[in-house]
Amino acid sequence: MVDRLGVGIGWRAELDLSIARLPGVDWVEVVAENLHAPHLPESLLALRRRGMPVLPHAVSLSLGGAEPLDTHRVEHLAELARALDAPLASDHVCFVRAGGLDSGHLMPLPRTREALDVLVANVRLAQSIVDLPLALENIAAVLEWPENTLSEEQFLTELTERTGCLLIIDVANLYANARNVGTDPAAFLDGIPWERLAYVHMAGGIERDGVYHDTHAHPVPPEVLDLLAELRRRTDPPGVLLERDDDYPTDTELATELAALRATVTA
Amino acid sequence: MEETWGISGPQFLAWYGIALAVVLVVQVVGPRVARPRSVEHTGELPDVYHLAYLAGGPERVADTAIAALVDRGLLRVNSEGLVTAAGKRPWHKLERSVHEGAKGATGGTTRSLRAKAARSKAMSDLETEMQRAGLLTSGREARPFHTVVLLAYLVLLAVGAVRFVAGAANDRPVGWLFLLLVVALVLTIVAGVVRSRERVRVTPRGQGALTRARSASRARGAAQPALLLAGAAGAVALGGLAMYPDDELSAALVPPFQPFAGSGGGSSGGGSSCSSSSSCSSGSSCSSGSSCGSSCGGGGGCGG
């Protein structure tokens, strides 16, 4: 089982003084690529001194990539996790690089045995370097590969079984996939091995031209909160994290969103 | 030997020197004595931005708007002094222009917001409003006075020059006159510069309003000015950002000392974190600039 974290928020440099003062923040998550262990921002260290857990979350390991794993990036994550005394480190189930090009976006993997084998090998190598529990997050897919043979929940379940990794379930990404590529959210939630859950991600987005955009720049829509309530019927998540990356609202609005998350998971 | 124009050299020098001195005295003392013609006191109290202007000019007005917005949560400052807009745009014109200056991923700094506010229409509207209320002089009001002073110097300069030529032609000593002519020339140039630079100044009424506001805020009486100056905006209007009533936010808002300060912009708050995109070149799931911080799963959108 994973330690209980409570309700947290994605730490962003622009928000550092706000986050330190917001009511209802039990922990924060930092984007690993934005920080360097020897030069951590003073405002983040202040949170650590207050005993607030700070968990690093990477976006660039490309664990699903067919190319050899860039172990320098994994070492960076490991070093940061040690500096923050974090209980776990994380990245996504995706690839971001191929053929020497950087997609600048988290790209979905084809859900095939072959792709899973590659992912499992990379995750095992990363685990051996990080030396902490590693959690992996479901992404919002921009597309579905035609050769998919496994459902997303099957793919994630097998991944945890073969590597022992933990999962971060991004409810907003699940909602986006349900809206945009036809994922069945109930089947997804029924198929996830909840004992492997590290925590849950929540974020806002907006619908434009019939497509749901997971912007992280809008309030969490009621449909995504409903989906969190649906998840809560299946498990009591150890942590819930609000991600807001742009077009920041006032502190009051952030506090209201955090309170809504807390109310949903404690209901 | 005939005196030039029938006036002895020393006599002319004395009168000439006295004339220069008189113009100089008028030039210096005049603006302080002359009460600007202005509308009668309307009885309305100046608002917090009027007082900010009286206390510290356009820069203080910008600082006061920043303080008011930070206090209401519509601006956010981080530990590195990066100021970003939050929430809905405010209604007040000045506050709106400051809020807009801090929008977007890059936000602003106290310095950049001051520079933007100083150029804004809201600021020139405020100046016009205060001139109408008799709190400020406009450059235009003082201009005729400085034109008269300049003309007086020019006449003296001309008379002196003619006397110099006449005296020299008459084979009289002109050394002392030459010295006075140099002095007259310098004074003329100074008067010209002052006339062209004449800008907005606080009137005695403005000074009085500020003094009353200061003593009211010290007294913390029940009088209206104390009410008007309550809160962060009031404190900053009279005392600057260092007086923002929250030490942590005050320290973040006061711009760092820069001996060779450039114009706005300043150090972006970025530091080791997100805004410097170099540290998040790859794998950032988001396409939108600064939010490389994104950890989101890509997705049907930014993902970022």
pLDDT in tens, B84-135: 999 889 999 999 999 999 998 788 999 999 999 999 999 999 998 998 888 9
CB contact under 8 A, B299 and A246: no
**Beta bridge partner(s), residue A140:** B298
Sign of the CA dihedral with A141 first, then A142, A144, and A146 last: negative
CA-closest candidate to residue A199, choices A60, A57, A71, A62:
A57
Query: Tokens at residue B170, please?
Result: 């008459």
Mean pLDDT is lowest, of A168-177, A203-212, B2-11, for B2-11
Q: Which residues of B touch A36 (CB under 8 A)?
A: 272, 279
pLDDT of residue B102: 93
Residue B270 confidence class, pLDDT cut points 50, 70, 90: very low
pLDDT of residue B267: 37
Interface subset of A 93-152, CB within 8 angstroms of B: 94, 96-97, 102, 104-108, 137-142
Mean pLDDT is lowest, of A84-93, A175-184, A232-241, B6-15, for B6-15
Residue B298 confidence class, pLDDT cut points 50, 70, 90: very low
Q: Is the pLDDT of residue B3 over 90?
A: no
Minimum Cα–Cα distance from A248: chain B residue? B86
pLDDT of residue A137: 97
Nearest chain B CA: its distance from A227 CA (Å) = 17
Nearest chain A CA: its distance from B291 CA (Å) = 5
Q: Which residues of A touch B107 (CB under 8 A)?
A: 14
Q: What is the DSSP string of A98-155?
A: ETTEEEEEEEPPP-SHHHHHHHHHHHHHHHHHH-S-EEEE--B-S---TT--S-HHHH
- Of A15, A33, A243, which has the smallest distance from its Cβ to B279's Cβ? A33
Q: Which residues of B touch A213 (CB under 8 A)?
A: 299-302
Q: How many contiguous H segments (helices) and E segments (strands) does chain A have?
A: 9, 12
Mutate to test the interface with A, among B273, B278, B280 (most CBs of A within 10 A): B273
Residues B203-234 pLDDT 10s: 888 999 899 888 887 776 444 444 556 789 99
pLDDT of residue B275: 33
pLDDT of residue B33: 67
A57 touching B (Cβ < 8 Å):
yes
Residues B106-116 pLDDT 10s: 889 999 999 99
What's the average model confidence in pLDDT over A137-157? Answer: 91
Query: Tokens at residue B229, please?
Result: 């100056």
Nearest chain B CA: its distance from A68 CA (Å) = 15
pLDDT of residue A61: 94
CA-closest candidate to residue B300, choices A150, A7, A208:
A208
Residue B220 CA: distances (Å) to CA of B44, B208, B242 = 20, 18, 20
What's the average model confidence in pLDDT over A23-32? Answer: 96
pLDDT of residue A83: 96
Quote the percentage of chain B above a pLDDT of 70: 75
CB contact under 8 A, B301 and A176: yes
Residue A87 confidence class, pLDDT cut points 50, 70, 90: very high
DSSP state of A21: H
pLDDT of residue A104: 80
Residues B174-208 pLDDT 10s: 888 899 999 999 999 998 888 877 677 888 889 99
Kindly provide the ipTM of the predicted complex, given to two decimals. 0.87
Q: Is the pLDDT of residue A207 over 50?
A: yes
pLDDT of residue B228: 59
